């Protein structure tokens, strides 16, 4: 049994291939900067006891092309991990938005695909890419069971006082407008890892997922009680191309005064804002270079980015009525030491005090970055959404 896990982000596709019940992938990789300059595929595999990393730099216009690059690497003669694509028995797909009807891991049928498509307007950067990935996978691996694992599932425990919007009730009861939350697979995985690391099942945690998309969650004893994204992945933190929280009257102003259409407003908020709108780049590595060059826009953007995270830490510490640890994860959270430092500066009221030397030192696995003796742990925990998806695929298949 081989399980191929596909994790499509707004500008990337992460993947891992698992054999049998093993939690160790036989290969993994990342197709990154999709639709941006400098796109490439990084493929890692162990053959004959030797680790190999293959970097394929090429233009990758969209997620469909990215999936084709991925599939070719799995069977490329000199680094093949599969003799035949027919060996793949299951393909697990991360799907960002499941709405109120897709709330558990499920085998993908035409009906499930239709429901995912019906949610395009709620996740315009993601669900269309998921469908492309699913459809390409169905063509490439027709013998495999296609499975969807939903990012919204972990947030089902959020109480009504936190997931409702203060709008007339019929918009919730009839149209299901509410907070759904996203990155749930990641938040669930790293919060479980943190509880085990702290040896505290009832830990009060704030998980901070910072990538091209960014979100936070308040987790109490393994259950999510609040999260920063809302009806769609647009709300909350400043992101690569998304605004995060914004005064809704700005949207009215754009339509009344500037003549923006609904499509233009959506494109502006989802695809042209965030760090891209502030600095001209959606990639924090590019913004970091500009910051180090003294670029005013980049300096301001980094300060705004960190300030928004700090405000949510304060809010979630109040919601949790306590705080044992904050956890940084995902591409920026795990690798951008400067962003972590900015977030943790002047937070001593919450018992947050970062050790700058530890923070600047790269190391694998879970890292503890707080100064010894401080109240709140500062942890970096590499997320592994792909492993979590593989595990949920196995659980589903075991019940069928």
**Residue 199 is assigned to a ligand binding site:** no
Task: Give the residue among 328, 375, 337, 332 at the shortest CA–CA distance from 357.
Answer: 337
Pick from 73, 45, 11: nearest CA to 331: 11
17 marked as binding residue:
no
Number of Cβ within 10 Å of residue 172's Cβ equals 15
- Judge whether 288 is annotated as a binding position: no
Quote the CA–CA distance of 133 and 6 in Å, as a whole number.
8
184 assigned binding-site residue: no
CB count within 10 Å of CB 324 equals 19
- 275 annotated ligand binder: no
Question: Is 160 part of any known ligand binding site?
Answer: no
Has 370 been labeled as part of a binding site? no
* 212 annotated ligand-binding residue: yes
CA pair distance 288, 272, nearest whole angstrom: 19
Is 181 flagged in the annotation as binding? Answer: no
- Residue 213 counted as an annotated binding residue: yes
Distance, CA of 390 to CA of 61 (rounded, Å): 27
| Residue 151 bears catalytic tag | yes
Q: Work out the burial of residue 374: count CB atoms within 10 Å of its CB; fewer than 13 is exposed, 13-18 middle, 19 or more buried.
A: middle
Q: Which two tokens stand for residue 75?
A: 């069977």
Pairwise CA distance, residues 115 & 164, whole Å: 22
From 141, 130, 132, 43, select the one nearest 91 (Cα to Cα): 141
- Is 210 marked as a binding-site residue? yes
Cβ neighbourhood burial of 132 (10 Å; 0-12, 13-18, 19+): middle
Alpha helices (H) along the chain:
63-74, 110-118, 127-140, 160-163, 170-173, 184-198, 248-257, 262-271, 274-279, 284-292, 296-320, 330-335, 337-344, 356-360, 385-399
Tell me the residue length of the chain: 400
Whether residue 283 is annotated as binding a ligand: the answer is: yes
CA geometry: angle 298, 182, 246, nearest 5 deg: 50
Q: What is the C-alpha separation between 352 and 87, in angstroms, rounded?
A: 49
Q: Is residue 292 annotated as involved in ligand binding?
A: no
Considering 23, 37, 151, 202, which one is annotated as catalytic? 151
Residue numbers in the known binding site for substrate are 94
Residues forming the active site:
151
Residue numbers in the known binding site are 7, 14, 94, 209-213, 283-285, 331-335, 385
Residue numbers in the known binding site for ATP are 14, 209-213, 283-285, 331-335
Residue numbers in the known binding site for Mg(2+) are 7, 385
């Amino acid at each position: 049994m081989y399980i191929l896990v596909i994790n499509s982000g707004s500008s990337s596709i992460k993947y891992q291939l698992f054999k049998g019940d093993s939690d160790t992938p036989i290969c993994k990789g990342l197709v990154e900067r999709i639709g941006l300059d400098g796109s490439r595929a990084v493929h890692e595999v162990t053959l004959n006891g030797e680790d190999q990393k293959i970097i394929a730099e090429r233009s990758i216009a969209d997620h469909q092309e990215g999936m084709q690059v991925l599939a070719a690497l799995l069977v490329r003669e000199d680094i093949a991990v599969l003799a035949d694509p027919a060996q793949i028995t299951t393909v697990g797909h991360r799907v960002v938005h499941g709405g109120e009807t897709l709330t558990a891991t499920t085998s993908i049928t035409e009906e499930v695909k239709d429901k995912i498509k019906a949610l395009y307007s709620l996740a315009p950067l993601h669900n269309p890419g998921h469908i492309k990935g699913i459809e390409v996978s169905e063509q490439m691996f027709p013998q495999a069971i296609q499975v969807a694992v939903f990012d919204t599932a972990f947030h089902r425990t959020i109480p009504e006082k936190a997931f409702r919007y203060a709008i007339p009730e019929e918009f919730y009861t009839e149209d299901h407008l509410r907070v759904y939350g996203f990155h749930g697979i990641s938040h669930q995985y790293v919060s479980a890892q943190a509880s085990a690391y702290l040896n505290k099942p009832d830990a009060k945690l704030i998980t901070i997922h910072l990538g091209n998309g960014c979100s936070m969650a308040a987790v109490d004893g393994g259950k999510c009680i609040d999260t920063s994204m809302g009806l769609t992945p647009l709300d909350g933190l400043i992101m690569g191309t998304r605004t995060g929280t914004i005064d809704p009257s700005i949207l009215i102003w754009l339509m009344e005064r500037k003549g923006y259409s609904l499509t233009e407003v959506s494109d502006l908020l989802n695809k042209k804002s965030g760090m891209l709108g502030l600095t001209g780049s959606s990639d924090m590595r590019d913004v970091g270079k500009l910051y180090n060059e003294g670029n005013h826009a980049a300096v301001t953007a980094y300060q705004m980015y960190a300030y928004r995270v700090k405000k949510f830490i304060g809010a979630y510490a109040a919601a949790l009525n306590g705080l044992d640890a904050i956890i940084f994860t995902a591409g920026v959270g795990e690798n951008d030491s400067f962003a972590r430092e900015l977030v943790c500066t002047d937070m001593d009221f919450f018992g947050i005090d970062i050790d700058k030397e530890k923070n600047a030192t790269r190391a694998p696995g879970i890292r503890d970055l707080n100064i010894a003796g401080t109240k709140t742990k500062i942890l970096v925990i590499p997320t592994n959404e792909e492993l979590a998806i593989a595990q949920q695929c196995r659980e589903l298949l075991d019940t069928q």
